[in-house]
Amino acid sequence: MRVVTRKTNLLGLSRQELEDLAEAHAQPRYRGRQLYHALYARRERNLAALTNLDRQFRAILAAENEITYPEIQRAFESCDGTIRYLLGLSDGKSIETVYMPEEDRVTLCLSSQVGCAVDCRFCFTALLGMQRNLSAGEMLGQVLAVAAARRIPHGARLNLVFMGMGEPLLNLPAVMKAVRILADPQGLGIPLRRITVSTAGITPRIPDLAREPMRPKLAISLNASDEEQRTALMPLNKKYPLAELLRVCRAYPLRPRERLTFEYVLLEGVNDSDADAQRVAALLRGMRAKVNLIPYNGGPALPYRASPLERVLAFQQILTERGIPAFIRISRGQDIRAACGQLSLEGADATAAREAGL
């Protein structure tokens, strides 16, 4: 009988963990730092090719370990250039990562969990239920796999948003471990100001995030203008009410020039009236905040419709007139169902999609 021993994936290990690994093999700790740099800054995938490591150490490493990215199973390309990647994980589960090119930069939308426990009524990921947390390595792997597929060079302007599947603040230790490696100049080298974590409002975790020395930007999914409406759309509002959420947001220690982002998905006839906009303006008065208005991306499985454009514009105007900067987030990749909240459910449904170069 052949015994198959699984190799350990080094992706996701911190500098310290790699130094410890070197030490465990009777190597100086700096060899761990070389490994760290090779994994994340040079994006090496072949341990045997790390010729700057001691030969014997390299051989031992390669016998027991490997560097594996999530596997790109499918890619759906939208007419606006957005590509939605279906990535396969080592346990057979899949997640989605979305690549969104803009004129002078690229944004990647990352998943933090397989499925989600939060159960927002308008969100497609909610229909999957919660399956499991992603590891830091699986989050870094999303960036590395897509960067390799799109040939994004090290140092290219890259924005990362944790707005894919899952609730990042319910997987905060792994998200933070990934962020520290992403933002480290010796790691992936993506500045913290280009990394945004978006939360449905897990109120007690917000001060935890505030205490992190390497803190990404924070976005909060507001989506409603009062308690009752928010509870109807986001049942977690019962446990973490809007009033308390906003109190915690007001206490959030922003850096110079930093603002909190509030996301607001506009649902026709549900949360998009002038009175809603006025209430949102009142809720956010005096805060260093901006609002991203997100046109809803619907589908047959859910009973909501997107607000018409004139509603979106009227809503925006009411906010800006009251001194709250409000932006309309053009929804990307609608034709491939890559728009936010639509990830993964129809992973294999290529009818609305053109498969991209795979």
What positions carry a catalytic annotation? 96, 340
Dihedrals phi, psi of 140, to nearest 5 degrees: -60, -40
Dihedrals phi, psi of 255, to nearest 5 degrees: -80, 165
Query: For tokens 């944004």, what's the residue?
Result: 107
- The answer to whether 123 contacts ligand SAH (rule: CB under 6 A) is yes
* Position among 198, 229, 261, 271 found at the interface with ligand SAH (CB under 6 A): 198
Q: Find out whether 35 and 21 touch, Cβ atoms under 8 Å.
A: yes
Task: Please report which helix (H) or strand (E) contains residue 124, including its range.
Answer: none
- The answer to whether 261 contacts ligand SAH (rule: CB under 6 A) is no
CA 290, 292, 293: angle at the middle one, nearest 5? 135
* Position among 107, 223, 334, 344 found at the interface with ligand SAH (CB under 6 A): 223
- The answer to whether 245 contacts ligand SAH (rule: CB under 6 A) is no
Which residue lies nearer to ligand SAH by CB, 106 or 110? 110
* Position among 158, 176, 246, 340 found at the interface with ligand SAH (CB under 6 A): 340
- The answer to whether 263 contacts ligand SAH (rule: CB under 6 A) is yes
Which residue lies nearer to ligand SAH by CB, 159 or 199? 199
- The answer to whether 57 contacts ligand SAH (rule: CB under 6 A) is no
- The answer to whether 267 contacts ligand SAH (rule: CB under 6 A) is no
- The answer to whether 333 contacts ligand SAH (rule: CB under 6 A) is no
Q: Which of 114, 80, 64 is CA-nearest to residue 94?
A: 114
Contacts of 351 (CB under 8 A, 6+ apart): none
Measured between alpha carbons, how far is residue 190 from residues 183, 187, 199 in Å?
5, 8, 21
- Which of positions 62-121 make contact with ligand SAH (CB under 6 A)? 118
CA 325, 261, 319: angle at the middle one, nearest 5? 30
Interface map 14-53 toward ligand SAH (x if CB under 6 A):
----------------------------------------
Interface map 127-166 toward ligand SAH (x if CB under 6 A):
------------------------------------x---
Query: What six digits make up the tokens of 117?
Result: 């426990």
As measured in angstroms, the least distance from the Cβ of 128 to ligand SAH is: 12
| R_g (Cα) of the chain, nearest Å | 21
Query: For tokens 């960067």, what's the residue?
Result: 147
Residues that bind ligand SAH (CB under 6 A): 118, 122-124, 163, 167, 198-200, 221, 223, 263, 265, 294, 296-297, 339-342
